[in-house]
Chains A and B, each alone.
Chain A
Amino acid sequence: MARIQIEGLSKHFQDGDETVVAVEDLNLDVEDGEFVVFVGPSGCGKTTTLRCVAGLEDPTMGTIQIADDVVNDEPPEDRDIAMVFQSYALYPHMTVRENMSFGLEHSTDLTGDDIERKIQETAEMMGIEELLDRVPADLSGGQQQRVALGRAIVRDPKVFLMDEPLSNLDAKLRAEMRTYLQQLQEDIDVTTVYVTHDQTEAMTMGDKIAILNDGELQQYGTPAECYHEPENTFVAQFLGEPSINLVEMDVQNGTMSAGTFEYQLDGRLADAVDADSAVVGIRPEALTVSTGNSESDTAFTGTVAVVEHLGRESNIHIELDGIDVELTVIVDGRPSLSVDDSVSVHVPPEAMHVFDSHTGKVLRNASEVTERASLDL
């Protein structure tokens, strides 16, 4: 129903004599019906951006368009937006029914009967019919969450904004609601911007994710793009759990090296790496670990420091010989290694992301086509 275009958005706050930059020159398009997740560490400007879209903050610079109309000067009540807050923000003195009808009464011309009908429909869809006559204080956290969503959905707005709506739920309920929200958004097909600091939520829910840091957009793309083709070390580190292994390497005469690891740069990469160092990123799942010494050049040797058994897989933390780096490797199933074992870690050259060591920008991403992916195809 509506596309959101953010152009050159900046938001500065005045804190005494200091100017705090919350968002700096942000450009972003959210297509109609798309589910976009803003993700980043706290203080990265994601919530500020959302609040600018909602009209709760005035942008310092830049324009925001909703459905091709510049809305900078429109107050929030005129933007036809529904927002779900982290605290749910239900009206405590009203019943669930009144909570849901409030917006309809004030933003539409619907008659009482129509409002009641819409509330019933939405309540059924959300599974909250039985709660309609209760007040928020009598509801559990999960129920309040549903009511808050219902209150937003019943309005049938142009845009949904969600500000960390799941962060007050326990882990199990959060996982359930995550799936539920995704299905719901697909069903009702309303442009949605979702803010979270949780990379799992971002990866699983978003059609696209926008990764922000220090008020600047780091990367905007599908979760798979951002994961497999990170544009910089920040994105690479932020997505993925456990996070990517970054190793600073020396570059001399076309050879990258760190500890026992050596790699001859090939043509294109040799041109790209013109400094005397580079940062190599390798996902923990791309590494293979074996006991004893490896014949391969592209391998590190080290000692097992910690073994975390997670059930289906295990995380193995390995302290490398010769350099002060700890690598994380994911191995399937029950680990056969134990602490203090000497191991070698093999790095498949095609799994290496190479970043500029000064700017953090990517020089080469790992080849996407891994064995598993080709099986899916």
Chain B
Amino acid sequence: MTTKTHSQTPSEPGLLARIRNVSPRRAMLYVVLFFVGGLFLLPLESAVMTSFKTVSGFAQTVPIAPPPPGQATLEGWMNAWTTLRATMLNSAMFVIPATLLIPVLGSLAAFGLTITDWRGQIGIYVLFIVGIFIPLQAVLVPLSLTWSIVDVQTQLATLGPVNVWDLPLAQEHHAQFIELAITHIAFGIPLSTLLFRSHYKDLSDEMLEAARLDGASMRTIYLRIVLPLSKPLFVVVMILAFTTIWNDLLFALVIVTSPQAEPVTVAFAGLAGGMVREFNVIMAAGFITALPTLIVYILFTRQFAEGFANTGV
């Protein structure tokens, strides 16, 4: 009966008919794709399952199995959240300023290196490019030395008429957020500049000349013409900066000395490397740590794709 109706309306084949029309080759392709996809998702699935199991539930079952009856719990998530809550805030304290400043500075630098014309431009630009290729491991020792010489905490305390750390809400370990933010900004600028520069090189020279003849100063050209035209790239650079800096462990380990200033990655590493391994807590903590970057990606998927299409990277 169904086949009959389908043959009468061939333009709207039902799901069954559509499946029947799939060639064996295609069917095999789908089977393989589903298998590979499943394989990739397996660790993630195990992590989710583990995060909801009790310790004994974890011991009794294979990681991919759902929690056995009576062994399901939210305890892992609760514990992880309690441990990480404060450190999430710590991360935000330097990740957000750095994320905002990296595209601003990168775009300004790229503007100066592309749209204006002065001697020695290329030399300076080469320095920026070199910055991209510096291996982070190589700078760890100089970095920690630098921040021990430039003691931000003491500097700020003696800077003005009042001790900054006496101000309400200011705490001495906040100095380390400043150090982290500056470090990340410094290492984020080269790539950001490179991306903005390739975008600015593609801007029409005639359009910028038209703006000059219209009486616009360099500042106006940047604010009214170049900046509005680089919005999509701002999103790209901000997302890249946010995820790299949020996920960074290396700089945090080197720079952060006060436990109160620990960012979330350091705290998570501590959890995962502890003597007693509570796998449900570790898994839940992993998700909590990754959550902000996931949210950022999901919120800005479209702009991200557009921006990348624009840069031609």
Contact = CB atoms under 8 A, between A and B. Distances in A.
B214 A86 contact: no
A83 B215 CA distance: 12
B210 A83 contact: yes
Most buried by A among B211, B213, B229: B213
Contact of A77 (B206, B216, B228): B216
A89 B204 contact: yes
Interface stretch (A90-98, A185-193, A350-358): A90-98
A85 B205 CA distance: 10
Nearest to B227: A93
Given A93-B228, A93-B229, A103 B209 contact: no
B36 interface: no
Given A56-B209, A85-B209, A106 B214 contact: yes
A82 interface: yes
Contact of A86 (B206, B213, B224, B225): B206
B121 interface: no
Contacts of B210: 83, 85, 89-91, 151
Given A93-B229, A106-B220, A81 B211 contact: no
A103 B229 contact: no
A13 interface: no
B206 A103 contact: no
Contacts of B209: 54, 56, 76, 83, 85, 89
A333 interface: no
A102 interface: yes
Contacts of A54: 209, 213
B114 to A, nearest CB: 16
Contacts of A108: 215
Contacts of B216: 77, 102, 106
B212 interface: yes
Chain A: interface residue count, which band?
Answer: 20 to 34
B207 interface: yes
Nearest to A106: B215
Given A76-B213, A77-B213, A102-B216, A92 B229 contact: yes
Nearest to B214: A103
Contacts of A90: 207, 210
Contacts of A102: 211, 214, 216, 224
B210 to A, nearest CB: 4
Interface in B229-287: 229
B301 interface: no
Interface in A56-107: 56, 75-79, 81-83, 85-87, 89-93, 102-103, 106-107
A55 B220 CA distance: 18
B21 interface: no
A155 interface: yes
A106 B217 CA distance: 8
B60 to A, nearest CB: 61
A155 B204 CA distance: 22
Contacts of A76: 209, 212-213
Contacts of A92: 207, 229
Contacts of A106: 214-217, 220
A85 B229 CA distance: 20
Nearest to B228: A93
Contacts of B220: 106
Interface string A91-133: 1110000000011001110000000000000000000000000
Contact of B215 (A56, A107, A151): A107
A55 B225 CA distance: 20
Interface of B: 204, 206-207, 209-217, 220, 224-225, 228-229
20 contacts: A56-B209, A76-B209, A76-B213, A77-B212, A77-B213, A77-B214, A77-B217, A82-B213, A83-B213, A85-B206, A85-B209, A86-B206, A90-B207, A90-B210, A103-B215, A106-B214, A106-B215, A106-B216, A106-B220, A155-B214
10 cross-chain pairs, A with B, having the tightest CB-CB distances, nearest first: A107-B215, A103-B214, A89-B206, A106-B215, A89-B210, A85-B206, A89-B207, A93-B228, A76-B212, A77-B215
Given A76-B213, A151-B210, 5 more contacts: A56-B213, A77-B215, A81-B213, A106-B220, A108-B215
